[in-house]
Amino acid sequence: MRKLAIPFALLGLGVLLFFLWVVRLPPFDGHPEPVPTALADLRFDQDAVRVEGTAHYALKVSYEVPARWGRPAHTRWLFPLFERQDTMGRFVTTMISSPDAPERLVSFEDMVVEGEARKPQIAMTASVESAFQDLGYTFAEDYVLVVAYLDEAPSP
């Protein structure tokens, strides 16, 4: 019986470490080094990107991320990101999900965002898309959502 205890304990430890790594809980809660990526080159499956551009805050939309084991609940903000200094663009290819709320009286902001590129369905609902479309924005068929890291670098 004692001969089986050690292999089962090692197997249990391995499963626990794998779980912590998959859900990125301590001690594996870091993220890879972001790669500078042009907005036109973003794809859904990129784990670490650094994009820069002009955020449009015409509509201030937020959603609540529920608490997970080891992570508190928090609010994230959605807004489109366009090429730097583009304040007239309305064709959305990149949306940002940021833990930082936009300032109240700011409509546009040049920023650098580090995060993971994902499919927009994780945060963008039909009602959110419709609200942006009511303001004149149109969405590319394959637009990308960049989920900003919680410890994001400050904007320039």
Q: What pTM does this model have?
A: 0.78
Instruction: Indicate the number of domains in the chain.
Output: 2
pLDDT at 31: 74
Q: In terms of residue numbers, what domain contains 11?
A: 1-30
For residues 26 and 50, membership in a common domain is answered with no
Taking only the tens place, the pLDDT of each residue in 102-117 is 998 999 999 999 999 9
Same domain, 14 and 62: no
Mark whether 116 and 137 lie in a shared domain. yes
Listing DSSP states for the chain in one string gives -HHHHHHHHHHHHHHHHHHHHHTT-TTS---PPPEE--GGG--TT-SSEEEEEEEE-SS-EEEEEPPBTTB--EEEEEEEEESTT--S--EEEEEEEESSPPPTT-SEEEEEEEEEEE-GGGT--HHHHHHHHHTT-EEEEEEEEEEE-TTPPPP-
Residues 27-78 have pLDDT tens digits of 666 677 899 999 999 998 888 899 999 999 999 899 998 887 767 888 999 9
